[in-house]
Amino acid sequence: MINKRYIKTAGAIISAAVLLVSAGCGSRNNVPGGSVQAESIAGNDKGSTSVSTADVTLTRDSEYPDYYEQEVRKTIQTLDDTITRDSVSYIFITDTHLDSNEASTTAAYRMYNAVVDVANNSDVDFVCVGGDIYDGRHAEENGKANAMQIIRNVAEILSTCNKPVFFLHGNHDDNSFSAQVDGNLLYSADYIINKEEWYSVTMAYFPQYAAEYEHGYFYYDLPGKNVRVVCLNMSDSDDTVVNGEQNEMGMYFYGYKDKQIDWLLDKAFAREDCRYLIMSHDAFDYPEGYNVSSNRDTLHDILTAAYTHQNYNN
């Protein structure tokens, strides 16, 4: 049972609708190349500094064709023209599925490099990787190690970013879709990336940005913005291993355990003097994969109450 029976959601949630519509789960997310968003939320006090694209230093430009470099520079200029002192701005890159084929691999790594250049040459507040970094179908020998190396590659690229970096867990990211290649690997702990292993190749590179880290969910307070970014884990599966098999896995479990809901109410939402920005891989209105123990509706009710400044009472 969820221990918290009543909470007053004092902080407004800003832009939750935008952030909770990442390309998400199931069969509809197998689109090579993923997507990148640069968002700026609320604010009209423009800073006095200005960036000329001619003055921008790109450290990753060797990775870009000429047209791509021009787009990177244009994006930096657009951000400079639109970001204000009191806005919250971020880069959101999601569902790159970078190992779908050779073309998607090249495109995805290029995007991650571009994210570093855009972030390092602009005043965005943070970068968020929205999940489903890869397909999670590594059924070959040493498949788990190979999958973890792909995630590690992305973390190492982003480790050169001078802004906070957050990783969200997608349903593909634990490599449990390897069972679609080899049915004998269903629930195999030798192939599924558990929560500790996920941390080791993601937020372990950025521990200063992951306060109260718990099994893939955490929060971070943006300096000088009076905004708390809360990162949720929609693939909060039970990674207990019995006889070589993991109890649950991302391919079959989408949802938020009671412990995550309690953490959200008791810790993440503990401040009453800030606004909240909620980040998650999945969209609540896409029910495939959710079961009765997912807490999907509970989380929806909590966020609705917070967004409308109402009391939440379960």
pLDDT at 293 over 60: yes
Band of pLDDT at residue 3, cut at 50, 70 and 90: very low
Q: What is the Cα–Cα distance from 255 to 249, expressed in whole angstroms?
A: 11
Q: What predicted TM-score, i.e. pTM, was given to this entire model?
A: 0.85
User: For residue range 121-161, what is the model confidence (pLDDT) as tens digits?
Assistant: 999 999 999 999 999 999 999 999 999 999 999 999 999 99
Boundaries of every domain in the chain: 6-313
Q: Which token pair is 101?
A: 């084929």
Q: Which fold has domain 6-313?
A: Purple Acid Phosphatase; chain A, domain 2 (3.60.21)
Contacting residues for 223 by C-beta, under 8 A, at least 6 apart: none
Task: Write down the pLDDT at residue 313.
Answer: 81
